[in-house]
Amino acid sequence: MTSDRPSRPSPALDALEFELTDLDEARRALDELPPGVGTAQAGSPGYWKGRRRPPQPTDRALTGAAIEWMLGLREDLRPRELCERFPRLANALATAWADAAQRQQALEKLVNDERGQRSGFPHAVRMELELLYGVVLAGHDGRAC
């Protein structure tokens, strides 16, 4: 019994398989690190030193703007531990606070740490950040009325 369908040539054993893709997708694939490489780099000695910005005087103490920001928050939202232990981060939050999008982005970076192999914040600081983040996600700025 013969078929009316034309016969296809059998694939060569040494033929290369490929799939069609667009150029942007191919570039993205090349830009991404293979699994585990980013984690290995982050764990190498000196990795974070080269990635941090140079120290500034405002890293060690709260700025006047940060103090005003903290005092402007509701009493129950004031991040006292953050201000005491990480004044640089409190200063950065105070700077970002006036703009809702910047405020949310700054808190997202602090609450959802993606740096890998880092111990994170002490519990009290983490709780303060999560409380502020919850208020911001609810669409409020936490200011005292």
pLDDT score, position 77: 96
d(CA 120, CA 109): 12
d(CA 75, CA 8): 77
| pLDDT level of residue 60 (50, 70, 90 thresholds) | confident
d(CA 68, CA 98): 12
Indicate the pTM of the whole model. Answer: 0.62
Tell me the per-residue pLDDT of 2-55, one tens digit each, with 9 for 90 and over.
556 656 655 555 666 767 777 777 677 667 766 766 665 556 677 767 777 787
Tell me the per-residue pLDDT of 101-136, one tens digit each, with 9 for 90 and over.
999 999 999 999 776 667 789 999 999 999 999 999
pLDDT beyond 80 at 93: yes
Residue 4, by phi and psi: left (phi above 0), alpha (psi -120 to 50) or beta?
alpha
Mean pLDDT of 67-74: 96
Helix/strand/coil for 50: helix
Q: Which residue has the tokens 């799939």?
A: 19
Domain boundaries, the chain: 58-137
Q: Higher model confidence: residue 96 or residue 117?
A: 96
